[in-house]
Structure 1
Amino acid sequence: AAAVLELSPAQRTGLGGLQANPQVFQHIALGADPSSTESELSGDMWHVGLLSPPPVGADASFGGGGFTAGASRSGGAGAAGQGAAAELRFGLENESAKLHIPTLLLWEQQNPGHVRAALRRLPGANESSIDAWLRRWGVAASSGPSRLRERLQNAALADEQQPQQANLRMQWLGGDLNQNYRLDPLELSLAPVLLSADGASTAAPSGLDASQAGSQATLPWQRFLTWHSGQRNERHSGGARIYLNDDNLASLHRRLLQIWPLEWANFVIALRQYGPASGSVAGSGAVTGGDTSALSAADWTPNFSQPSSYSLASVLDLADARIAVPTSGSAGPSTPSGSTVSEKKQMLHNPFSDDMASGRNYLGRLLDEATVEAATILEGRIDITDAPLEVLVGVPGMDEPLAQKIIQQRSSAQLATAPESRQSIAWMVDEGLVELSRLKQLERYLTCRSDVYTVQAVGYRDRLSPVYRCTAVVDARRLPAQIKNRQVWHAWDRGFAIESLAPAEVEINE
Structure 2
Amino acid sequence: MNSITHQRSRRSRVRHSRRAIVLVLVMVVVTMVSLAGFSFVASMSNENKAVHLRGEQLRMENAIASAEEFLKIYVQRSKPDADSTPGSSPFAQLTGPGGDNESLMRGVVVDEDGPKSRIRFTAIAPRYDETGAATLQYGLERESNRLDLRSVADWENRRPGSGKMALLGLPGMTESIADALLDWMDSDSAPRQSGAEMDFYASLNPPYSPRNGIPESLEELLLIKGITRELLFGRDADQNHRLDYEEQSSSTGTARDTNGERQWPWIELLTIYSNEQNRTRDGKPRINLNHPDIRELHRLLSESFAPSFAAYVVLFRQNGPALNTRPGVAVGTAPLDFTKSARYRISSALDLLQSRVQIGAIPGQGTIVECPLTINPEGSHELLMQMYDDLTVSPLPFLKGRVNINTAPAEVLRSLPGLDKALAEQIVAARSGTGNTEKSHDDHPYWIYSEGLVDISRLKELSPFLTVGGDTHRTQIVAFSERSRLSQRVELVLDASEKPTRRVMWKDLQVLGRGFPWDAIDTPGGISASQFGAGNAASVGY
Task: Please say whether Structure 1 and Structure 2 have the same fold, judged by a TM-score greater than 0.5.
Answer: yes
- Number of aligned residue pairs: give it: 430
1:236–1:423 CA contact under 8 A, matched in 2:
no
1:73 corresponding residue in structure 2: none
**Alpha-carbon shift at residue 123 of structure 1 (Å):** 3.8
Give the partner amino acid of 2:193: S
1:417 corresponding residue in structure 2: 438
1:236–1:368 CA contact under 8 A, matched in 2:
yes
> Is residue 489 of structure 2 the alignment partner of residue 469 of structure 1?
yes
1:463–1:498 CA contact under 8 A, matched in 2:
no
Give the partner amino acid of 1:228: Y
1:403 corresponding residue in structure 2: 424
Q: Name the CA distance, whole Å, in 1 between partners of 2:221 and 2:147.
A: 25
1:355–1:362 CA contact under 8 A, matched in 2:
no
**Percent identity, aligned pairs only?**
27
Instruction: Choose from 141, 151, 156 the match for 1:93.
Output: 141
1:258 corresponding residue in structure 2: 303
Instruction: Choose from 326, 329, 336 the match for 1:294.
Output: 329
> Is residue 108 of structure 2 the alignment partner of residue 22 of structure 1?
no
Select between 130-139 and 43-52 the one with higher mean Cα deviation.
Answer: 130-139
Match of 1:353, SS state, is coil
1:26–1:501 CA contact under 8 A, matched in 2:
no
**Alpha-carbon shift at residue 362 of structure 1 (Å):** 1.2
Structure-2-length-normalised TM-score: 0.68
Q: Name the CA distance, whole Å, in 1 between partners of 2:461 and 2:430.
A: 20
Give the partner amino acid of 2:144: S
**Alpha-carbon shift at residue 57 of structure 1 (Å):** 4.2
2:238 corresponding residue in structure 1: 178
1:392 corresponding residue in structure 2: 413
1:2–1:482 CA contact under 8 A, matched in 2:
yes
1:294-345 residue CA offsets vs partner (Å, 9 max, x unmatched) = 3353x766343333333222111221222355xxxxxxxx335155xxxxx5
**Alpha-carbon shift at residue 23 of structure 1 (Å):** 3.6
**Alpha-carbon shift at residue 28 of structure 1 (Å):** 5.4
Instruction: Choose from 342, 353, 377 the match for 1:319.
Output: 353
Give the partner amino acid of 2:79: S
Give the partner amino acid of 1:361: E
* Cα distance change of structure 1 residues 2 and 206 upon mapping to structure 2, 3 Å threshold: farther
Give the partner amino acid of 1:8: K
Give the partner amino acid of 2:131: A
Give the partner amino acid of 2:138: F
Higher-Rg structure is: 2
2:217 corresponding residue in structure 1: none
> Is residue 172 of structure 2 the alignment partner of residue 108 of structure 1?
no
Q: Name the CA distance, whole Å, in 2 between partners of 1:127 and 1:157.
A: 22
2:148–2:273 CA contact under 8 A, matched in 1:
yes
Q: Name the CA distance, whole Å, in 1 between partners of 2:202 and 2:375.
A: 65
2:61 corresponding residue in structure 1: none
2:119 corresponding residue in structure 1: 46
Matched ranges for 1:16-415 at <5 A: 16-23=95-102, 25-27=104-106, 29-31=108-110, 40=113, 43-55=116-128, 57-59=130-132, 64=133, 66-67=134-135, 88-125=136-173, 133=181, 136-137=184-185, 142-143=192-193, 153-158=200-205, 165=223, 168-182=228-242, 204-207=251-254, 219-279=264-324, 294-297=329-332, 302-324=336-358, 334-335=360-361, 337=363, 346-353=367-374, 358-359=379-380, 361-415=382-436
**Alpha-carbon shift at residue 19 of structure 1 (Å):** 3.0
1:175–1:187 CA contact under 8 A, matched in 2:
yes
* Cα distance change of structure 1 residues 243 and 121 upon mapping to structure 2, 3 Å threshold: closer
Q: Name the CA distance, whole Å, in 2 between partners of 1:469 and 1:163.
A: 23
Q: Name the CA distance, whole Å, in 2 between partners of 1:16 and 1:163.
A: 34
1:389–1:403 CA contact under 8 A, matched in 2:
yes
2:489–2:510 CA contact under 8 A, matched in 1:
yes
1:77 corresponding residue in structure 2: none
Unaligned runs of 5+ in 2: 1-70, 81-85, 209-219, 256-261, 532-542
Structure-1-length-normalised TM-score: 0.72
Match of 2:491, SS state, is strand
1:129–1:168 CA contact under 8 A, matched in 2:
no
1:460–1:498 CA contact under 8 A, matched in 2:
no
* Cα distance change of structure 1 residues 204 and 426 upon mapping to structure 2, 3 Å threshold: same
Q: Name the CA distance, whole Å, in 2 between partners of 1:395 and 1:278.
A: 28
* Cα distance change of structure 1 residues 13 and 96 upon mapping to structure 2, 3 Å threshold: farther
Q: Name the CA distance, whole Å, in 2 between partners of 1:435 and 1:260.
A: 24
**Alpha-carbon shift at residue 379 of structure 1 (Å):** 1.1
2:353–2:375 CA contact under 8 A, matched in 1:
no
Select between 149-158 and 104-113 the one with higher mean Cα deviation.
Answer: 149-158
Q: Name the CA distance, whole Å, in 2 between partners of 1:317 and 1:188.
A: 48
**Alpha-carbon shift at residue 97 of structure 1 (Å):** 1.9
**Alpha-carbon shift at residue 172 of structure 1 (Å):** 2.0
**Alpha-carbon shift at residue 486 of structure 1 (Å):** 1.0
2:116–2:527 CA contact under 8 A, matched in 1:
no
* Cα distance change of structure 1 residues 425 and 187 upon mapping to structure 2, 3 Å threshold: closer
Give the partner amino acid of 2:238: N
Match of 1:258, SS state, is helix
* Cα distance change of structure 1 residues 254 and 108 upon mapping to structure 2, 3 Å threshold: closer
* Cα distance change of structure 1 residues 353 and 180 upon mapping to structure 2, 3 Å threshold: closer
2:480–2:487 CA contact under 8 A, matched in 1:
yes
Select between 474-483 and 497-506 the one with higher mean Cα deviation.
Answer: 497-506
**Alpha-carbon shift at residue 352 of structure 1 (Å):** 0.5
Match of 1:456, SS state, is strand
* Cα distance change of structure 1 residues 239 and 429 upon mapping to structure 2, 3 Å threshold: same
1:72 corresponding residue in structure 2: none
1:188-228 residue CA offsets vs partner (Å, 9 max, x unmatched) = 99xxxxxxxxxxxxx854459xxxxxxxx963211111111
1:384–1:392 CA contact under 8 A, matched in 2:
yes
1:174–1:206 CA contact under 8 A, matched in 2:
no
Q: Name the CA distance, whole Å, in 2 between partners of 1:124 and 1:278.
A: 43
**Alpha-carbon shift at residue 164 of structure 1 (Å):** 6.1
1:2 corresponding residue in structure 2: 72
Match of 2:309, SS state, is helix
Match of 1:264, SS state, is helix
Q: Name the CA distance, whole Å, in 1 between partners of 2:472 and 2:369.
A: 42
Point out which structure has higher relative CO (alpha carbons under 8 A, 6+ apart).
1
**Alpha-carbon shift at residue 500 of structure 1 (Å):** 1.4
Q: Name the CA distance, whole Å, in 1 between partners of 2:364 and 2:268.
A: 54
* Cα distance change of structure 1 residues 460 and 494 upon mapping to structure 2, 3 Å threshold: same
Q: Name the CA distance, whole Å, in 1 between partners of 2:194 and 2:307.
A: 56
1:415–1:422 CA contact under 8 A, matched in 2:
no
Give the partner amino acid of 1:381: R
Match of 2:389, SS state, is helix
2:401–2:465 CA contact under 8 A, matched in 1:
yes
Q: RMSD of the alignment, in Å?
A: 3.9
Unaligned runs of 5+ in 1: 33-38, 68-87, 190-202, 209-216, 281-286, 326-333, 340-344
